[in-house]
Structure 1
Amino acid sequence: MARVLIAGESWITQSTHIKGVDSFVTSSYVEGVAPLRTALTSRGHEVAHLPAHLVPSDFPDDRAALEAYDVVVLSDIGANSVQLAPSVFEGARPGGDRLAALRDWVDAGGGLLMVGGYLSFTGFEAKAAYRNTVLHEVLPVDLLPEDDRVELPAGARGQVTADHPALGGVDGEWPLLLGYNRVRPRPATEVVATIGDDPLIAVGTYGEGRSAVFTSDCSPHWAPPEFCEQWPGYADVFGGLIDWLAA
């Protein structure tokens, strides 16, 4: 059993309703973590979820705090949210460098998984911005300097390219995915699944630890229900990634 921290995979939406000359605003809070959390807990892993709005205040501040976990998953949460604690961003007081702490924790034996989305890797309008941080060196892939999203409205299927334990023994045809973040493999990277000509799942090592990427999403919209809710292989893939990262 691995102790897993998932950071991100939630959002708050505001909608403006205009009815003639009158208007009003409604707000809603949504979590997209359910498919991933269910898949991992079904395989016996202990999962803690840190929603996106709590990441700035509650993400582990140092390597010692990260020792509570075996694997950290960053999913659809940008570098700014991890780095800029309220005391730093709002109070202008020096604080810990959380991404440097995460890098050092992986170097000492931790496991890191980044899952794709609009605020993963480089992200929408380059706002995820991990390329400019120390965490970039930990990932098994190089990130693009520009918006890296590849939208696939007609869908495309992941293709297994290597027999690797990180795939969890998944078998058969994959359901369609509707997009991903484009990345480039590094020389020592093992690309174990592709989408189009690009990496979908890539794994590597960093110091004594391990890192992996899943460049599409773990929930809608890039991961339709047929992929993240109805496909048995979903739990195989993400369970295999966590097992490998925690080994």
Structure 2
Amino acid sequence: MAKVLIAGESWMTTSTHVKGVDEFTVHSYVEGVGPLKDALEASGHEVIHMPAHKVPTDFPGSADALAAYDVVILSDIGANSIQLAPAVFERFEPGEDRLQALADWTRAGGGLVMIGGYLSFSGIHARGAFRNTAIADVLPVEMLAEDDRWELPAGKSAVVEVSGHPVLGAAGEEWPALLGYNRTVLKADAELVATLNGDPLIALSEQMKGRSAVFTSDCSPHWAPTAFCEDWDGYREIFDGIVRWVTRAI
């Protein structure tokens, strides 16, 4: 089975409580990686989670560092967090181009996956900012220049475009509703497995010796409600299938 690095899927929240003339501020830390990590581990994969606040300092930036993994999953973590290491951003020193290294690693045989979120693809107010990076060349979809979020507050179910595709395992074709996704455009040489609202949901592509895949909705709430990511056996089938596809295990 695969050794998988998941980068992102955590956040910090600051809230101010005002009670009459008094106020105080509290902070919380949340990880949304649980459903994905649990599903992949239950399928036999080894999963290392790198929370968002550790990405600027710890994300691998060389072929040797990336060689420790079979699959890298980027989920709800913007390009700036990967590109701007403290030495570059705070001390103005040249450093590693970590997204270029990731693209090169993918072409050399690595498995790259991007999962949707407010800071995936182009993201909220286009702050995901992957469109003008080296990663754009090795994904199976083109990214929009603007805010690409498409909210589906009433919920909508995916449509399987390739019935019985091995990446779907035993997920079947009746999926619980999702609440949104990042809108993208399928590249001409990519394979479309499933759509949401007529746009790519699961897409796959060959990248020289490597492979890449996208799941343009979320792997955890809010776009992936508990009916999808916790209560449905197909969730594990899909993400195990994506990991096994990019590692050529299926």
Instruction: Give the TM-score taking structure 2 as reference length.
Output: 0.98
**CA offsets 1:173-213 (integer angstroms, 9 cap, x no match):** 10010000000001111110001110100000111100000
Matches within 5 A, 1:58-73: 58-73=58-73
What does residue 187 of structure 1 align with? 188
What does residue 21 of structure 2 align with? 21
Aligned pair 1:102/2:102, yes or no? yes
- Give the secondary-structure state (helix, strand or coil) at the position aligned to 1:219: coil
TM superposition outliers: structure 1 runs of 4+ over 6 Å: none
How many angstroms does 1:168 deviate by? 2.3
Distance in 2, Cα, partners of 1:169 & 1:133: 35
How many angstroms does 1:165 deviate by? 1.7
Matches within 5 A, 1:162-181: 162=162, 163-181=164-182
Distance in 1, Cα, partners of 2:149 & 2:25: 30
> Is the contact made by 2:76 and 2:115 (CA closer than 8 Å) also made in structure 1?
yes
What does residue 220 of structure 1 align with? 221
How many angstroms does 1:164 deviate by? 2.1
> Is the contact made by 1:168 and 1:241 (CA closer than 8 Å) also made in structure 2?
no
Name the amino acid aligned to 2:158.
G
- Give the secondary-structure state (helix, strand or coil) at the position aligned to 1:87: helix
> Is the contact made by 2:78 and 2:129 (CA closer than 8 Å) also made in structure 1?
yes
How many angstroms does 1:96 deviate by? 0.4
Seq. identity, %: 62
Distance in 1, Cα, partners of 2:142 & 2:222: 24
What does residue 4 of structure 2 align with? 4
- Give the secondary-structure state (helix, strand or coil) at the position aligned to 1:57: helix
What does residue 120 of structure 1 align with? 120
> Is the contact made by 2:160 and 2:173 (CA closer than 8 Å) also made in structure 1?
no
Name the amino acid aligned to 1:232.
D
What does residue 152 of structure 1 align with? 152
**CA offsets 1:75-128 (integer angstroms, 9 cap, x no match):** 000000011101111111000000000001001000000000000000000000
Distance in 1, Cα, partners of 2:95 & 2:151: 37
Distance in 2, Cα, partners of 1:172 & 1:129: 32
Name the amino acid aligned to 1:169.
A
Q: Which consecutive unaligned segments of at least 5 residues does structure 1 have?
A: none
- Give the secondary-structure state (helix, strand or coil) at the position aligned to 1:130: coil
Q: How many residues align?
A: 247
> Is the contact made by 2:149 and 2:182 (CA closer than 8 Å) also made in structure 1?
yes
Distance in 1, Cα, partners of 2:188 & 2:130: 20
Q: Which consecutive unaligned segments of at least 5 residues does structure 2 have?
A: none
> Is the contact made by 1:169 and 1:240 (CA closer than 8 Å) also made in structure 2?
no
What does residue 135 of structure 1 align with? 135
- Give the secondary-structure state (helix, strand or coil) at the position aligned to 2:194: strand
Matches within 5 A, 1:75-90: 75-90=75-90
Distance in 2, Cα, partners of 1:228 & 1:40: 12
Name the amino acid aligned to 1:56.
P
What does residue 243 of structure 2 align with? 242
How many angstroms does 1:172 deviate by? 4.0
- Give the secondary-structure state (helix, strand or coil) at the position aligned to 2:131: helix
Name the amino acid aligned to 1:40.
L
How many angstroms does 1:22 deviate by? 1.2
Instruction: Give the TM-score taking structure 1 as reference length.
Output: 0.99
